[in-house]
């Protein structure tokens, strides 16, 4: 029987970090990736590649981006992002339901883990393109995000796999779907797999489950998330169907976190049902710069409630509850220049017209009169006495209308006008297994299941109501590395 010290189930950021972490501590590691090699990388490959990380000024930024030029330093205000701010924001976004010990571990280890990623070949760059606005001649970062992996999520995974492929103690097996987990008589584990429709069994002293959530499982979405969630488009990997979670539950792990919650965004209305690595940039997250209307032509969210990093993950659920599960983001020429590249890709479902009436005629299915009335009401309510400043919560609002736009309100009055059709794109689910701060899986009595670990999106308790942009990749890297180190140090299975 094929045997390793550590088996890692999954192929995204958390999984590869776990495999690298275990290998560098002396373990012989086998990584089981369900997808073929050409689509490897899990959900992580579909992300923008942003990491939310603790840093104290530009010196810490240089630890992550050592090739940062003096001109870049002089032309930007990187600010700071303290442990206290990170932890407080994360806990507040979960309405204080989050696993505080686990979240604190991720926060405290975020910067050292970023340096570890860089040592393992990942290159980081400042998020100038998506997370800055120029104010008084300087680029100001906003929303707690400052750095990203070069090449985005796909670039991150290419770098990590390059390191994995050059690591002698690490073996990669593609097209291998892990479907079952059993305790072995010697204190280790047996992992049942399907390869080319044939069943195989592999053995290991420790197993790290890092196979993502269940966002691509239509049945589970309908069962746990509720009405209409079977209609959502899958933003990322089609292979995240809850296999790892089920394997853990089958051996006594406790279910944990918000099983009725998920990360879901505004997504191009005509995107394919599953994520396509060759057609990224389908999400539409910069709604703060305009207004959003449903098929009745009515606004249904406060587009200026917060920096989009703190509430964009709720917007998929909001649009899914609208008539037909569709909506339109509408902008004029005052703010269209603030939109990033995801709005300019050739496959974006966008419409343009010189008048609002002409725009409405192109917005298929919109109630034209309702839309024009909404824009008229909105324009009349904008506080033009307050200066527009996209880099801060500027208080430029629309008092007297419902829903109010709390910040960044501008009249839609400068043609041509542009509208983008959007629906719901689900990114990941929030429910999963419970782990301790060593990423050991816990059973129904909150006891450690020896030799079993979990990391990444399949860990419950990290996110509940809202999600802070960039937290997911950071959590996956931190937990993956921690799980790998501990599993390698407990190769006997801990029994």
pLDDT tens digits, one per residue of 221-233:
999 999 999 999 9
Counted residue by residue, the chain has a size of: 495
pLDDT bracket for residue 443 (50, 70, 90) = very high
Question: Per residue in 361-370, pLDDT tens?
Answer: 999 999 999 9
CA dist list (Å): 34 to 10, 11, 65, 172, 194: 7, 7, 33, 11, 9
Do 240 and 214 form a contact (C-beta atoms < 8 A)?
Answer: yes
For residue 353, give the CATH number of its domain.
Answer: 3.90.700.10
Q: Is residue 494 part of a domain?
A: no
Give the whole-angstrom CA distance, residue 211 versus residue 179: 11
Looking at the structure, tell me whether residues 269 and 242 fall in a common domain: no
Q: Which of 117, 113, 115, 121 is nearest to 478 (CA)?
A: 113
Can you give the residue range of the structural domain that contains 45?
2-258+431-489
Give the whole-angstrom CA distance, residue 144 versus residue 51: 10
For residue 490, what pLDDT is reported?
63
Helix/strand/coil (H/E/C) assignment for every residue in 360-417: HHHCCCCCHHHHHHHHHHHHHHCCCCCCCCCCCCCCCCCCCCCCCCCCCCCCCCCCCE
Percent pLDDT > 90 in the chain is 91
For residue 143, what pLDDT is reported?
86
Task: Compute φ and ψ for 76, nearest 5 degrees.
Answer: -140, 155
The number of domains in the chain is 2
Task: Compute φ and ψ for 383, nearest 5 degrees.
Answer: -80, 90
Using the predicted structure, report yes or no on whether residue 283 has a pLDDT greater than 60: yes
Looking at the structure, tell me whether residues 446 and 313 fall in a common domain: no
Q: Is residue 409 part of a domain?
A: yes
Domain boundary among 425, 446, 473: 425
Take residue 93 and report the two structure tokens written for it: 């976004």
pLDDT bracket for residue 493 (50, 70, 90) = very low
Domain boundary among 382, 399, 425: 425
Sign of torsion over alpha carbons 419, 422, 427, 428: positive
Give the whole-angstrom CA distance, residue 66 versus residue 147: 12
Using the predicted structure, report yes or no on whether residue 495 has a pLDDT greater than 70: no
Q: How far is CA 281 from the centre of its chain?
A: 13
Residue indicated by tokens 């204190």:
187
SS3 call for 240: coil
Looking at the structure, tell me whether residues 352 and 392 fall in a common domain: yes
Give the whole-angstrom CA distance, residue 468 versus residue 280: 21
Residue indicated by tokens 């089920």:
246
Q: Is residue 342 part of a domain?
A: yes
Do 469 and 271 form a contact (C-beta atoms < 8 A)?
Answer: no
Using the predicted structure, report yes or no on whether residue 43 has a pLDDT greater than 80: yes
Q: Rounded to 5 degrees, what angle do the CA atoms 72, 76, 81 make?
A: 115
For residue 494, what pLDDT is reported?
32
**Average per-residue pLDDT in the chain?**
95
User: Residue 226, Cβ neighbours under 10 Å: how many?
Assistant: 12
CA dist list (Å): 314 to 318, 342, 405, 466: 7, 19, 16, 7
Give the whole-angstrom CA distance, residue 140 versus residue 60: 17
pLDDT bracket for residue 491 (50, 70, 90) = very low
Looking at the structure, tell me whether residues 169 and 28 fall in a common domain: yes
Q: Is residue 61 part of a domain?
A: yes
Looking at the structure, tell me whether residues 279 and 201 fall in a common domain: no
Q: Is residue 495 part of a domain?
A: no
Using the predicted structure, report yes or no on whether residue 326 has a pLDDT greater than 70: yes
Contacts of 144 (CB under 8 A, 6+ apart): 52, 81, 85, 86, 89, 307, 309, 468, 469, 470
For residue 470, give the CATH number of its domain.
Answer: 3.50.50.60
Question: Per residue in 192-248, pLDDT tens?
Answer: 999 999 999 999 999 999 999 999 999 999 999 999 999 999 999 999 999 999 999
Question: Per residue in 251-265, pLDDT tens?
Answer: 999 999 999 999 999
Range name among 181-185, 277-281, 400-404, 473-477 with the lowest pLDDT average: 277-281
Question: Per residue in 47-91, pLDDT tens?
Answer: 999 999 999 999 999 999 999 999 999 999 999 999 999 999 999
CA dist list (Å): 98 to 90, 257, 400: 8, 8, 35
Q: Which uninterrupted H or E stretch holds 233?
A: strand 233-234
């Amino acid at each position: 029987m094929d045997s390793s010290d550590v088996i890692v189930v999954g192929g995204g950021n958390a999984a590869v970090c776990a495999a690298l972490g275990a290998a560098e501590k002396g373990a012989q590691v086998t990584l089981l990736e369900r997808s073929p090699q050409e689509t490897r990388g899990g959900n992580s490959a579909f992300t923008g590649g942003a990491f939310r990380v603790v840093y104290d000024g530009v010196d810490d930024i240089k630890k992550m981006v050592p090739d940062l030029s003096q001109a870049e330093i002089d032309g930007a205000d990187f600010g700071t992002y303290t442990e206290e701010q990170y932890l407080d924001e994360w806990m507040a976004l979960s309405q204080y339901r989050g696993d505080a010990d686990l979240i604190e571990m991720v926060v405290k280890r975020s910067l050292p883990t970023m340096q570890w990623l860089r040592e393992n070949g990942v290159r980081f760059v400042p998020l100038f393109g998506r997370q800055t606005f120029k104010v008084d001649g300087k680029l100001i970062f906003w929303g707690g995000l400052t750095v990203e992996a070069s090449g985005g999520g796909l670039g991150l995974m290419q770098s990590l796999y390059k390191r994995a492929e050059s690591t002698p103690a690490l073996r990669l097996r593609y097209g291998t779907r892990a479907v079952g987990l059993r305790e072995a008589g010697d204190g280790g584990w047996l992992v049942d797999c399907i390869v080319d429709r044939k069943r195989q069994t592999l053995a290991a002293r420790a197993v790290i489950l890092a196979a993502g959530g269940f966002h691509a499982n239509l049945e589970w979405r309908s069962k746990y998330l509720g009405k209409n969630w079977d209609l959502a488009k899958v933003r990322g990997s089609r292979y995240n169907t809850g296999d790892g979670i089920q394997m853990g539950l089958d051996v006594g792990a406790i279910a944990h976190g918000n099983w009725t919650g998920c990360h879901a965004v505004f997504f191009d209305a005509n995107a394919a049902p599953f994520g396509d690595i060759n057609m990224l940039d389908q999400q539409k997250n910069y709604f703060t710069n305009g207004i959003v209307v449903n098929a009745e032509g009515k606004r249904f969210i406060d587009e200026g409630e917060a920096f989009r990093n703190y509430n964009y993950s709720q917007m998929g659920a909001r649009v899914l509850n609208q008539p037909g599960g569709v909506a339109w983001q509408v902008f004029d020429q005052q703010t269209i220049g603030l939109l990033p590249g995801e709005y300019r890709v050739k496959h974006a479902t966008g419409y343009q017209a010189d008048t609002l009436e002409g725009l409405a005629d192109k917005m298929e299915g919109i109630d034209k009169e309702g839309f024009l009335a909404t824009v008229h009401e909105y324009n009349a309510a904008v506080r033009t006495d307050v200066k527009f400043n996209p880099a801060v919560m500027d208080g430029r609002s629309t008092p007297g209308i419902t829903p109010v736009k709390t910040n960044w309100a501008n009249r839609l009055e400068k043609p041509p006008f542009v509208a983008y059709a959007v629906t719901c794109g689900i990114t990941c689910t929030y429910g999963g297994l419970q782990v301790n701060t060593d990423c050991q899986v816990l059973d129904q009595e909150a006891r450690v299941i020896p030799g079993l670990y979990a990391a990444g999106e399949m860990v419950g308790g990290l996110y509940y109501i809202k999600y802070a942009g960039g937290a997911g990749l950071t959590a996956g890297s931190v937990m993956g590395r921690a799980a790998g180190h501990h599993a390698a140090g407990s190769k006997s299975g801990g029994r």
